[in-house]
Amino acid sequence: MTAEHQDATLALARMMETIAAKIERGELNGMTTEQVWGLYRTMAKVANKIEANTEELAGV
């Protein structure tokens, strides 16, 4: 994994943790629950693509 991929993956994981915590606390900042969960699902898809690309680059 390149340093850039690792940095992007860690940043994405932190964002996902922050959003999950806000969902649990009910802090949606004007967004509907559906919008927040949609954002969370989108970030999960991006994380999966980063992981797949990283594995491809590593020859796994």
2 closest CA partner among 42, 49, 50: 50
- Residue 25 has a pLDDT of 86
Q: Could you list the pLDDT tens digit for every one of the 60 residues in the chain?
A: 678 777 887 888 888 788 788 878 888 778 888 888 888 888 888 888 877 877 666 665
Instruction: Specify the 3-state DSSP secondary structure of 29.
Output: coil
- Residue 58 has a pLDDT of 67
- Give the C-alpha distances (Å, rounded to integers) separating 44 from 7, 25, 36, 59: 16, 20, 12, 22
- Residue 12 has a pLDDT of 80
- Residue 20 has a pLDDT of 80
Structure-token match 């850039």, residue found: 4
